[in-house]
Amino acid sequence: MNLYRFWQFYFHLPVFVRLLLTVLITMLLFGTVIHLIEPEHFPSVFDGIWWAFVTGSTVGYGDYVPLSAMGKVLAIFLILAGGGVVTFYMATISAGTIKQEQELSKGRVEYKGKDHIIFVGWNERTKQLVDTIHKKDFDVQIVLIDQSLDNLAFQKHYIHFIRGNATEDEILKKANIDEAKYVVITSDPNKKERQADQTSILTTLAVKGNNPNVYIISEILTKEQITNAKRAGADSVIRSNDFMSTLFFQEIFRDEPVKPFDVLLEVLGNQQFHHILLPPEMKGYTFLECSDYYVSLEQILIGIMRDGELMLNPPFDTKLKDNDYLLVLTSL
């Protein structure tokens, strides 16, 4: 019964562990036997085990050699049995490593880390955002959930890929949603605007249901769905259409040959926005005084967030209050 339980336990171990134990037991057995057969040539069990490993791995240093007929027969069995086990062990490790890498690129491997950022949807915006994050802090762990990709090479993008629908609990669990710090939900460019917004809202509901404490940033295309996204649990809603519409309008009605917005977008590509809580010592400062301070740091103060309302370029005499957030533009 005890032997049965041992074999039951043994065969429930991972294949790598089973093979390693088999190699160790085999070498220990042959090393002990050769010590008993030729104690004068193998003074200790350790010397026998050393000989077993060197012979079984086909390295063959030749520092220990059996001289008796029985010792040579044992060496033959070691080469046949031990060499095969060691070779099979190494081949299994190699095959397992390749398989693990393939499974990882296909999005089938669960993520085990924590305090990571989850991106939902793979598109140009996501690519640029991932690159920007890695330029700022390469150690930030990023998990991507997408059902349109068949594979994504980790070595190229340095993100953990999970293939599937982010509205499904099973997929969110594979991305370790319970330990995530942020979730960024981007709109699906292959769907119509209203349909894409509905998917984003449904994803927000699924994420919030699995982790009420995670901070969710959701991209919404239509103005009518902003309220629904916030009701679903989005902490921040981004409307990319507003900014693009403004650029198109300016392009249509400009008369100058110069393209200022092309230059502006190129410059902003090398800048980064920061959302900073007003330092206590700046309470009562005017917007102009605060702007002068950030200019001295080679940064630009462009607005204030107060009670959920964004004020871009407010009057210079605007007094700053507690709980105000400063929107600051800095170089990457």
Asked if residue 174 and residue 213 are part of one domain, the reply reads yes
What integer pLDDT is reported at residue 313 of this predicted model?
80
Nearest in space to 28 (alpha carbons), one of 78, 91, 90: 78
What integer pLDDT is reported at residue 253 of this predicted model?
57
For residues 104 and 120, give the distance between their C-alpha atoms in angstroms, rounded to a whole number: 17
Asked if residue 127 and residue 63 are part of one domain, the reply reads no
Asked if residue 158 and residue 84 are part of one domain, the reply reads no
Tell me: pLDDT of 204 over 80.
yes
- Summarize pLDDT for 95-149 with one digit per residue, the tens: 766 676 777 788 888 898 889 999 999 888 888 888 888 887 778 899 999 998 8
Asked if residue 134 and residue 67 are part of one domain, the reply reads no
For residues 332 and 328, give the distance between their C-alpha atoms in angstroms, rounded to a whole number: 12
Asked if residue 123 and residue 96 are part of one domain, the reply reads no
Give residue for tokens 């921040």.
236
Q: What is the number of domains present in the chain?
A: 3
Give residue for tokens 């967030």.
305
What integer pLDDT is reported at residue 271 of this predicted model?
53
Asked if residue 234 and residue 123 are part of one domain, the reply reads yes
- For residue 258, is it within any domain? no
Outline where the chain has alpha helix (H). 2-11, 15-37, 45-56, 69-77, 83-105, 124-136, 154-157, 169-174, 193-210, 226-232, 240-252, 260-268, 287-296
- Summarize pLDDT for 49-105 with one digit per residue, the tens: 998 888 877 777 777 888 889 988 988 888 877 667 777 777 776 676 667 677 778
Residues 6+ apart with CB under 8 A from 197: 187, 220, 221, 222, 225, 228, 229
CATH number at residue 200: 3.40.50.720
What domain range includes position 315? 270-331
- For residue 247, is it within any domain? no
**103-107 — which CB contacts under 8 Å span 24+ positions?**
104/154, 104/160, 104/161, 105/151, 105/152, 105/153, 105/154, 105/161, 106/150, 106/151, 106/161, 106/163, 107/146, 107/149, 107/151, 107/152, 107/161, 107/162, 107/163, 107/164
Asked if residue 280 and residue 302 are part of one domain, the reply reads yes
Q: Give the dihedral of Cα atoms 287, 292, 294, 297; nearest 10 deg.
A: 180
Rounded to an integer, the average pLDDT of 292-310 is 82
What is this structure's pTM?
A: 0.58
- For residue 256, is it within any domain? no
Rounded to an integer, the average pLDDT of 192-204 is 92
**Domain limit, last residue, from 105, 125, 148:** 105
Asked if residue 94 and residue 163 are part of one domain, the reply reads no
For residues 48 and 45, give the distance between their C-alpha atoms in angstroms, rounded to a whole number: 5
Asked if residue 223 and residue 152 are part of one domain, the reply reads yes
CATH number at residue 13: 1.10.287.70
